Copies of this chain bind each other. A is one copy, B any other.
Amino acid sequence: MLKLTKKADYGLMALKYLAEHPETPALSAKDIADAYGIPAQLLAKILQRLTKTGLLRSHAGMNGGYALSRDAREISAFEVIHSIDGPLFITSCTKGAKGCDLTPSCTIKEPLARVNETIAGVLKSISIYDLADRDPAKAAEAGSSIGQRLVTLTL
Contact = CB atoms under 8 A, between A and B. Distances in A.
Interface of A: 1-6, 8-9, 12-13, 16, 35-38, 77, 81, 85-86, 88-94, 102, 105-108, 111-112, 115, 118-119, 122-123, 125-126, 130-131, 133, 145-155
A102 to B, nearest CB: 5
Contact of A105 (B37, B93, B130, B151): B37
Nearest to A101: B37
Given A1-B5, A151-B151, A154-B145, A118 B111 contact: no
A107 B16 contact: yes
Contacts of A130: 111, 155
Contacts of A108: 9, 12-13, 16, 131
Contacts of A148: 152-155
A88 to B, nearest CB: 5
Contacts of A102: 36-38
Given A9-B91, A91-B9, A105 B35 contact: yes
Nearest to A154: B148
Interface centre among A108, A130, A133, A148 (most CB of B within 10 A): A108
Given A2-B90, A118-B122, 11 more contacts: A1-B4, A2-B3, A2-B89, A4-B91, A9-B106, A36-B105, A111-B131, A122-B153, A125-B153, A147-B154, A151-B153
